[in-house]
Amino acid sequence: MSAEPTNPDIAIDAEFDSGNIEIIRIEGATAHLAIPADHRSEFRQWFHFRVTGAGGRELVLKIGDLGTSAYPEGWPGYRACVSEDRDFWGRAETTYDKAENGGTLTIRHTPASDVAWFAYFAPYSMERHHDLVAEAAASDGVSYRHLGRTLDGQPIDCLEMGEGTVQVWLYARQHPGESMAEWWMEGAIECLTDPADPVARALRQKCRFHVVPNMNPDGSRRGHLRTNAVGTNLNREWHEPTPEKSPEVLAVRTAMDATGVDFAMDVHGDEAIPAVFLAGFEGIPSWTDALGEKFYRFERILARRTPDFQTAKGYPKSKPGTANLSMSTNQLAERFGACSMTLEMPFKDNDDLPDPDQGWSPERSKMLARDCLASLLEWLDDKDA
């Protein structure tokens, strides 16, 4: 009888909801890996895979050729997410060497058990999405709307609540790999459906909420970073969405046309900037200082309410008349005169308030959602100021 090998090879799997990795080779507890691109697209950044057989051994996971990934500036200072129970997601020891094999991310971790999961950010599965929708739809005062179907045939879910006249649209995961956006949505929905929450009670008196927790179910399930089933970046489709390329945007924009939009927040994650920030709609053709001040006032309120938000870091503002109307925030401000905005959370950490164990996390994403809603309430109460 032959003896068991003393250092057997680990096994790596990614054939599951949002899984994405390519195995180059495995040598004991060391693996050389690559990130496949989104289907019919060149975007490469999201990874999510399971490692088995490494309990008590140091894993060395090398993901190469990242200099040509979608956002190579996202790798310096980044630490990979790791979990052994798929509930708590911490951060693994991670380094990036742009000179090694076209840019290599090296992840080192010694799991206590034989099963460990690694991801670009803590995943938000479609099963959890359906649990979120089901629980919210069963809450008092919440109605469910089926806005349409994706190209893979998945539903585009919308939750509605509130008796007020202010039309508020909250939507997330146009870019499916930005899973922190749906963790934010979970926090927002838990707040809005809590009958004991005074912020929620006051907001539901003033507003009618339309909440789309996941605008890109196909990309989410397929393990894409940025696109849907046919490689379309949904946040470049808002000027003229089509059933063939972007039925998700077409369904949501059509529903918005029916209700109007007074306030909108498009929830995202940013690969490179280690901070939470907002992007507005500067540069739209119909820009007025009065409309812009509505956005800037919300920004000031949020900065005062939570140290997790700041205004020093962010995207450059568009010059007058140069706004890209294919992006939702610009399109909604132009189309409806809405106070619209894009919320960005980091894949890395919030460098102004770092967390050595988790970096930016699902828990902080959820807490930020309540701060955003409390800021909205203050913004509404002070709208004539």
Q: Which of 22, 240, 344, 363 is an active site residue? A: 344
The span from the CA of 25 to the CA of 63, in Å, is 11
What 3-state class would DSSP assign to 236? Answer: helix
211 & 100 share domain: no
Nearest CA-CA partner of 217 in 265, 268, 182, 168 = 182
Cα separation, 216 vs 129, in Å, equals: 12
Of 119, 143, 164, the residue at which a domain comes to its end is 119
Relative orientation angle of helices 289-305 and 362-381, to the nearest 10 degrees: 130
- Asked if residue 20 lies in contact with residue 12, where contact means CB atoms within 8 angstroms, the answer is no
Domain match, 214 and 349 both:
yes
Same domain, 191 and 163: yes
Q: Does one domain contain both 304 and 180? A: yes
194 and 370 Cβ atoms separated by less than 8 Å: no
Active site residue 58: no
Residues 303, 311 contacting (CB under 8 angstroms):
yes
**Tens-digit pLDDT string for the chain (385 aa):** 555 557 899 999 999 999 999 999 999 999 999 999 999 999 999 999 999 999 999 999 999 999 999 999 999 999 999 999 999 999 999 999 999 999 999 999 999 999 999 999 999 999 999 999 999 999 999 999 999 999 999 999 999 999 999 999 999 999 999 999 999 999 999 999 999 999 999 999 999 999 999 999 999 999 999 999 999 999 999 999 999 999 999 999 999 999 999 999 999 999 999 999 999 999 999 999 999 999 999 999 999 999 999 999 999 999 999 999 999 999 999 999 999 999 999 999 999 999 999 999 999 999 999 999 999 999 999 864 4
Could you tell me how far CA 138 lies from the centroid of its own chain? 25
Instruction: Tell me the C-alpha distance between 54 and 92, whole Å.
Output: 15
pTM of the model: 0.97
Asked if 148 and 278 sit in the same domain, the reply is: yes
**Listed residues 74, 102, 119: the one ending a domain:** 119
Q: Is residue 263 part of a domain?
A: yes
CATH of the domain at 44: 2.60.40.3120
For residue 2, being part of any structural domain is answered with no
Question: How far are the Cα atoms of 191, 246, 266 from residue 215, in angstroms, in the given order?
Answer: 20, 10, 10
State which H helix or E strand residue 149 sits in. Answer: strand 142-149
Q: Are residues 61 and 140 in the same domain?
A: no
What does the alpha-carbon distance between residue 126 and residue 237 come to, in Å, rounded to a whole number? 23
Which of 78, 93, 119 is where one domain is finished?
119
Selection from 281, 260, 72, 248 nearest residue 158 by Cα: 248
The total number of structural domains in the chain stands at 2
Q: Are 208 and 167 in contact (CB under 8 A)?
A: yes
Q: Which domain holds residue 93?
A: 11-119
